[in-house]
């Protein structure tokens, strides 16, 4: 269920400096992707050190690509390490969404992610026997966070991979940093995930973001443009990363179904989820990539706090889309 590299891109539009607000802009690379942070204040500010600090502590806690991060140590079997508050928050939220999604969001899918060649570990030649043997190491109900902050696993081979929620959580932490500085209007974007607060006071409009058309393989075209205020949106898509079965011609993407252990049939092309925080939106956007559309619809009926936009292929292979009424209300064009 790994979040793919080919995330839907989200663009911020419009910034004419025609008011008393100053447009501050931080851009760079972090978490294996790019970021853009626009924040409006009454004077010019430089918060690059604070931004770098947020990314640094997130990586130190949860990056599977850093050998001495907390998550890497836990993955190697360290059961004495006391995790930090951020790790605890991500673990607890992951546990909640694991149960709410009936296991389709599962950060312990890391063993399969590595085996299929989509993570930091070595890929292996996969078949049904090997998949079955690895599934015993998958299941968030097989891990536990105890009262003192250590992690226990039913089997040492269980491998945590928070990539499908950590990026959204990092954005939330960046928002918390801006809030602590008293900044009331901002748009934070990291690798296509966004968090907004207030509005674009320079253009006198709400923050406006675009969602890429998932069927444009070269260049880009916008599928939807939506307005956001005090909300977060995360998107997930596999449409540029897939393999084709040479016998059936069927497309398979590298979202991994944690129930079967295999890469998922590519009927769901892309998902976008709006929520109150970006970690939650990030996790559900990933879950909806692995879930059948009807199951996603049922979950969304239960969780009125979530809005979603899902692009999929219907039974005839034609592109179709589903939007919750709340998401549809956000669409500006």
CATH number of 77's domain: 1.10.3980.10
Question: Last residue of some domain: 114, 138, 163?
Answer: 163
User: Measured between alpha carbons, how far is 258 from 58 in angstroms, rounded to an integer?
Assistant: 25
Strand order in the sheet with 251-256: 242-244, 251-256, 263-265
Residue 165, token pair as written in the block: 């929620």
Q: Is residue 9 part of a domain?
A: no
Using CA atoms in the order 124, 128, 130, 135, what is the torsion angle rounded to 10 degrees?
110
Handedness of CA 34, 40, 43, 47 (dihedral sign): negative
Q: Which of 136, 163, 190 is the last residue of a domain?
A: 163
253 with 231, same domain: the answer is yes
Q: CATH number of the domain at 237, please.
A: 3.10.520.10
Q: Give all strands (DSSP E) within the chain, no chain letters.
A: 22-30, 33-41, 143-145, 151-153, 185-190, 193-197, 207-212, 222-228, 232-237, 242-244, 251-256, 263-265, 268-275, 307-313, 319-323
Whether residue 34 is found in the same domain as residue 75: no
Task: Give tens-digit pLDDT for 272-307.
Answer: 999 999 999 999 999 999 999 999 999 999 999 999
Same domain, 197 and 267: yes
| pLDDT (tens digit per residue) in 220-234 | 678 899 999 999 999
Give the pLDDT of residue 121.
66
Q: Give the pLDDT band (50/70/90) at residue 332.
A: confident
Residue 105 belongs to a domain? yes
Residue 123 pLDDT: 67
Where a domain ends, among 163, 191, 209?
Answer: 163
Do residues 106 and 216 share a domain?
no
Judge if 193 and 303 occupy the same domain.
yes
- Would 17 be classed as within a structural domain? no
User: Which is higher by pLDDT, 246 or 236?
Assistant: 236
- Tell me: do 100 and 178 sit in the same domain: no
For 131, residues 6+ apart whose C-beta sits below 8 A from its C-beta are 112, 260, 261, 262
My answer on whether 206 and 322 are in the same domain is yes
Q: How many domains does the chain have?
A: 2
User: Which DSSP letter does residue 286 get?
Assistant: H
Residue with tokens 């939106």: 281
Parent domain of 148:
64-163
């Amino acid at each position: 269920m790994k979040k793919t590299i080919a995330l839907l891109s989200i663009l911020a539009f419009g910034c004419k400096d025609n008011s008393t607000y100053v447009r501050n802009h931080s851009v760079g690379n972090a978490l294996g992707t790019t970021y853009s942070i626009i924040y409006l204040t009454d004077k010019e500010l430089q918060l690059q050190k604070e931004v770098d600090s947020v990314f640094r502590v997130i990586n130190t806690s949860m990056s599977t690509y850093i050998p001495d991060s907390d998550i890497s140590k836990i993955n190697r079997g360290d059961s004495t390490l006391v995790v930090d508050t951020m790790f605890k928050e991500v673990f607890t939220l992951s546990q909640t969404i694991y149960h709410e999604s009936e296991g389709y969001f599962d950060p312990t899918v890391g063993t399969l992610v590595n085996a299929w060649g989509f993570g930091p570990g070595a890929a292996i030649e996969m078949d049904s026997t090997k998949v079955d043997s690895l599934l015993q190491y998958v299941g968030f109900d097989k891990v536990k966070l105890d009262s003192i902050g250590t992690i226990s696993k039913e089997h040492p081979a269980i491998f945590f991979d928070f990539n499908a929620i950590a990026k959204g959580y990092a954005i939330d932490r960046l928002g918390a940093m801006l809030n602590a500085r008293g900044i009331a209007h901002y748009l934070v974007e990291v690798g296509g995930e966004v968090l907004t607060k207030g509005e674009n006071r320079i253009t006198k409009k709400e923050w406006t973001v675009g969602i890429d058309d998932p069927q444009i393989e070269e260049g880009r075209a916008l599928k939807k443009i939506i307005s956001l205020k005090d909300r977060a949106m995360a998107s997930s898509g596999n449409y540029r990363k897939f393999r084709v079965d040479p016998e059936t011609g069927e497309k398979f993407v590298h979202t991994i179904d944690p129930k079967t252990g295999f890469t998922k049939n590519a009927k769901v092309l892309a998902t976008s989820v709006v929520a109150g925080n970006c970690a939650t939106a990030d996790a559900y956007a990933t879950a909806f990539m692995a879930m059948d559309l009807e199951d996603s619809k049922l979950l969304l009926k239960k969780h009125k706090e979530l809005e979603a936009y899902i692009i999929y292929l219907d039974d005839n292979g034609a592109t179709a889309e589903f939007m919750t009424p709340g998401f549809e209300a956000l669409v500006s064009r």
